[in-house]
């Protein structure tokens, strides 16, 4: 018959930790970057990525560039959804990617997405310039890829 303390030790011995290392810039570095570079460079990057996205041939590159807009404004890292999975060698972390909408829906939405995303870019930039609404501006910029192409995640 096992005692209560022994059972806890057995459970702790079989527990494995999954460590996901995330490297981010410090708060002071992000503030200085925004004040001196991010507020104007972010708009230029967003407009350039929108122009590249507007050309059908450049749409894949434009989509990647649009995903990087929040980082160009404030050095913000993209959020990722991680899932812990087990396999024969132990446990690991994998990125969860949501299922995307059907391609033909995204193709039909493309011209509307161009217009709505351009409005979102200017709205997000305006919110970022006002400083007090900077978090809202970053949130709008985070949604620009979804607005442009119905991209999930």
Number of domains in the chain: 1
10 falls within a domain: no
Is the pLDDT assigned to residue 1 strictly greater than 70?
Answer: no
pLDDT reported for residue 53 = 93
The residue-averaged pLDDT of 31-43 equals 91
pLDDT reported for residue 21 = 67
82 falls within a domain: yes
Count CB neighbours of 129 within 10 A.
13
Roughly how many angstroms between the first and final C-alpha of the chain, as a whole number? 50
pLDDT per position as a tens digit, 44-100: 999 999 999 999 899 899 989 988 888 898 887 777 777 777 777 777 777 777 787
Q: Is 68 exposed, middle or buried (0-12, 13-18, 19+ CB in 10 A)?
A: middle
Q: Residue 124 is part of which domain span?
A: 17-149
The residue-averaged pLDDT of 132-148 equals 89
CA separation for the pair 3, 123 (Å, rounded) = 63
pLDDT per position as a tens digit, 8-29: 444 444 455 656 666 788 889 9
4 falls within a domain: no
């Amino acid at each position: 018959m096992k005692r209560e303390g022994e059972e806890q030790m057995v459970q702790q011995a079989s527990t494995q930790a999954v460590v996901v290392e995330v490297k981010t810039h410090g708060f002071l570095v992000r503030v200085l970057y925004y004040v001196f570079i991010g507020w104007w460079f972010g708009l230029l990057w967003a407009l350039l990525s929108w122009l590249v996205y507007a050309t059908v041939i450049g749409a894949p590159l434009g989509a990647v560039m649009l995903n990087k807009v929040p980082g160009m404004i404030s050095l913000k890292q993209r959020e990722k959804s991680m899932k812990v999975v087990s396999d024969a060698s132990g446990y690991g972390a994998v990125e969860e990617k949501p299922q995307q909408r059907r391609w033909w829906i995204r193709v039909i939405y493309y011209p509307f997405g161009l217009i709505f995303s351009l409005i979102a870019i200017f709205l997000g930039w305006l919110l970022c310039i006002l400083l007090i609404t900077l978090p809202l501006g970053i949130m709008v910029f985070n949604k620009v890829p979804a607005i442009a192409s119905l991209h999930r995640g």
